[in-house]
């Protein structure tokens, strides 16, 4: 891992409850996590209570959202705006997760709008990108990822990545128990950084690029040894406080 401060984020997806929030808040408050940014993204109904608890306990955890609307307000039933997230102190949000793209039809252009909307409210977007197993077999990995990144560059400019994070999540490794080898992950992370560097080398060098895809307490250390891996976006292991804490300590 290079000199950028690591970021370890947990995406709880449609899991978790008040008891889990209390456990995370208490145990991360009591533990020493140094020089690592820790973000936990619960379901939206828990955002405010989680934020209150980490603030009251002076916890190292930062609370992030799993999604947001590209609209600022209006008749959009079920959606959440950046103003709502900002009002309760949320400062990170996941955009373009593969499940949002595949299950809810989010395009690179829509994801770029969400990225832009988050930045406008000083919320740090975590831009997800990654390929399916079929796309990898067809050697389309770099094309897919370049398209996702270019959509953001076209709309927001390369400078926008000074205030954003990128997460490489190979779809074939999400929730499958399969994980990219450290070399496979590094190859893609290096491509992402070099692709950004075509626009601006300084911006590229400063972007934190996370790996996501069956990250756990057993494989994290080897992944974090790679030059261009600056942390992780964790799924299942992010729901177990001991496992998630081990990943953070490995960083």
Q: Please give the positions annotated as active site.
A: 97, 169
Tokens 């992944």, located at residue: 223
Bridge partner residues of 102 (DSSP): none
Q: How far apart are CA 69 and CA 79, in angstroms?
A: 6
Which tokens is 20 given?
Answer: 């889990």
Q: How far apart are CA 213 and CA 193, in angstroms?
A: 19
Whether 65 contacts 47, CB under 8 Å: yes
Bridge partner residues of 64 (DSSP): 92
- B/e letters for 223-233, b = 16+ CB within 10 Å, e = fewer, are bbebebbbbbb
- B/e letters for 52-88, b = 16+ CB within 10 Å, e = fewer, are ebbeeeebbbbbbbbbbbbeeeeeeeeebbbebbeee
Q: How far apart are CA 12 and CA 81, in angstroms?
A: 20
């Amino acid at each position: 891992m290079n000199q950028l401060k690591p970021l370890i984020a947990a995406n709880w997806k449609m899991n978790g409850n008040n008891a889990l929030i209390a456990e995370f808040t208490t145990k991360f408050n009591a533990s020493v996590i140094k020089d690592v940014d820790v973000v936990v993204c619960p379901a939206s109904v828990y955002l405010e209570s989680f934020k209150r608890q980490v603030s009251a306990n002076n916890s190292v955890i930062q609370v992030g959202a799993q999604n947001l609307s590209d609209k600022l307000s209006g008749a959009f039933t079920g959606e959440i705006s950046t103003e709502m997230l900002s009002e309760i102190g949320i400062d990170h949000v996941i955009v373009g997760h593969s499940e949002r793209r595949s299950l809810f039809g989010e395009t690179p252009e829509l994801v770029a709008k969400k990225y832009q909307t988050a930045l406008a409210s000083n919320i740090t977007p975590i831009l997800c990108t990654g390929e399916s197993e079929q796309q990898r077999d067809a050697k389309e990995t770099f094309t897919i990822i370049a398209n996702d990144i270019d959509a953001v560059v076209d709309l927001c400019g390369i400078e926008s990545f000074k205030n954003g994070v990128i997460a490489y999540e190979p779809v074939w490794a999400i929730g499958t128990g399969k994980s990219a080898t450290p070399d496979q992950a590094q190859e893609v992370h290096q491509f992402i950084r070099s692709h950004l560097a075509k626009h601006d080398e300084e911006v590229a060098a400063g972007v934190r690029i996370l790996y996501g895809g069956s990250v756990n307490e057993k494989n994290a250390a080897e992944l974090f040894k790679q030059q261009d891996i600056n942390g992780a976006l964790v799924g299942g292991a992010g729901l177990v406080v001991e496992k998630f804490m081990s990943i953070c300590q490995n960083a």
